[in-house]
Structure formats: C-alpha cells, structure tokens
Amino acid sequence: MRAQPGDWLIVEGRAVGGVVRRGLIEEVHGQDGAPPYLVHWTDTGHRALTFPGPDAYVRTSAELRAQEEIAAARYSSMQHVPASAPTGTAGADRSRH
C-alpha cells in the first residue's frame, strides 16, 4: 500500500452492513509512501497513527470523488415515485366514520 498526504484511507466493514470509515491521510511516516499514516478520521474527528489492515485501501481525492459520483448515480437511478392510491379505495379518507 502506498499513499501521499491528501489521499484518503478507506476501511471497509468486515460484516455485512458494516461501517465504512474514511480518513484523510495527513502524514506518511513510512518509506516511499508506506504506512504508518497519520489519519484524520471523518467519523470521529480524531487523528491517529494508523497501520492499515487487509480491509483498507487508498484513494486519491479525484478517485474517491469519481467513486462517489458513480454510487450516487446508481442510487438515484433506483429511486422511483410510488403510484398514487386509486380514489375510493382503502386509501380514502376515513375521518368521517
């Protein structure tokens, strides 16, 4: 794994539905971009010297932005407007009873 200051460290949750953590790499303490990294975590606001595990990867700001745009486009394409209930059916006003 190689990084430079300004890159993002992404840590995927190991369990289904697990939390994905993101942190801005502020400093690189290893040789040639190797860990450990001083990471400013977005979820907690804390800074920590981090040795990433196998569930982590590095993205540049541009790569992360592109990845998020793709995810947003996929999500928005799945959105739909529910059909309105027909008049005079179970969805009718019941306040008069």
Q: Residue 87: its pLDDT value, please?
A: 58
Helix or strand holding residue 48 (H, E): strand 47-50
Q: Is residue 32 pLDDT above 60, yes or no?
A: yes
User: What is this structure's pTM?
Assistant: 0.70
Residue type at position 16: V
Query: Half-sphere exposure of residue 69, counting CA atoms within 13 Å on the CB side?
Result: 6
48 bridge partner residues: 39
Q: Residue 81: its pLDDT value, please?
A: 56
Between 42 and 75, name the one with better pLDDT.
Answer: 42
CA angle, residues 9, 61, 70, in degrees to nearest 5? 95
Conformation bin of residue 93: beta by default, left when phi > 0, alpha when psi is -120 to 50 = beta
Q: Residue 28: its pLDDT value, please?
A: 98
